[in-house]
Amino acid sequence: MLPTEIKIIYIIAIVLVMLFVAFIIFVVLTYNKKQLLYLKEQQLKESEHQNQLLQKELEKQRSIEAERERISHDMHDDLGAGISALKLQAEFLKQKSEDKNLIADIDELLKTSEEMNLSMREMLWSLNSGNDTLGSFTDYAKMYAQNFLKKSGINLIIEESTEIVSENIISTEQRRNLFLCLKEALNNAYKHSQSDQIKLSFIQKDKEFMMKISDNGIGINHETSEGNGLRNMKRRMQEQNGHCEVITENGTHLFFRIDL
């Protein structure tokens, strides 16, 4: 048996150790609490900073969209009215003229004015931010393809997957570049493929959207150098972080892929 004095010393020592451990724990918890508060303050400041940057970006986007809308309205009101007046005047002159050469020149003028009118409509569609949806793009692309091929003798088949979400957002640049690729592909097929059928397909898988244009023509001669049209289409897709693929098998098949 230990003497009573030694027991008391042991008890005091144990109590002191426990108090010391408790003090260390208290210090550590207090430090951690202060660190957490500091980190939360920093996160709050960073969040406020990010919100300010986001607000500035939103204001910038609104300003850009407002300017696009203004340009769109100006073009519609001024250029549209001017082209319509030009066509009416040309039609009036055509009715009065009896000179066949002059009538042929007037017909060329009317053709040019109609092409200008179509180009203006495409520009207005491109500028309108209200068209930045997948449904708007596919509807306009189908309408353009039908109008482009209606007098060509080429049969147009349109396929659209049920997975397509019409409300999905597509950026103005993506929409514009995809449409220009569509124009180039249809023009090439019409001029060079010697096909009697073109299939236009729209496919969506999750956040990937693909436009496919296929013909049953003679295909592309890969031994010759790549034309400007194909190079431009590939460049446009690369600029949108997308991909353009060409397959020549039983005709020509063009694939345009982008991430929404």
Residues with Cβ within 8 Å of 144's Cβ and at least 6 positions away in sequence, in order, are 179, 182, 183
Q: Are residues 141 and 84 in the same domain?
A: no
- pLDDT at position 155, please? 94
What domain range includes position 154?
132-260
The region that residue 31 occupies, defined by phi over 0 for left and psi between -120 and 50 for alpha, beta otherwise, is alpha
Q: Are residues 1 and 126 in the same domain?
A: yes
Q: Are residues 105 and 143 in the same domain?
A: no
- pLDDT at position 44, please? 87
Q: Are residues 2 and 24 in the same domain?
A: yes
- pLDDT at position 224, please? 55
Q: Are residues 81 and 167 in the same domain?
A: no
Residues with Cβ within 8 Å of 114's Cβ and at least 6 positions away in sequence, in order, are 87
Residue 154 belongs to domain with CATH number:
3.30.565.10
Q: Tell me the whole-structure pTM to 2 decimals.
A: 0.65
Domain boundary among 108, 130, 152: 130
pLDDT per residue as tens, the chain (260 positions): 556 777 777 778 788 888 888 888 888 888 888 888 888 888 888 888 888 888 888 788 777 777 777 776 666 666 667 777 777 787 877 887 788 888 888 888 888 888 787 777 887 787 777 788 999 999 999 999 998 998 888 999 999 988 888 899 998 889 999 999 999 999 999 988 899 999 999 999 988 999 999 999 988 766 555 677 888 999 999 999 999 999 988 899 999 999 98
Residue 98 DSSP symbol: -
Domain boundary among 83, 115, 130: 130
Number of structural domains the chain divides into: 2
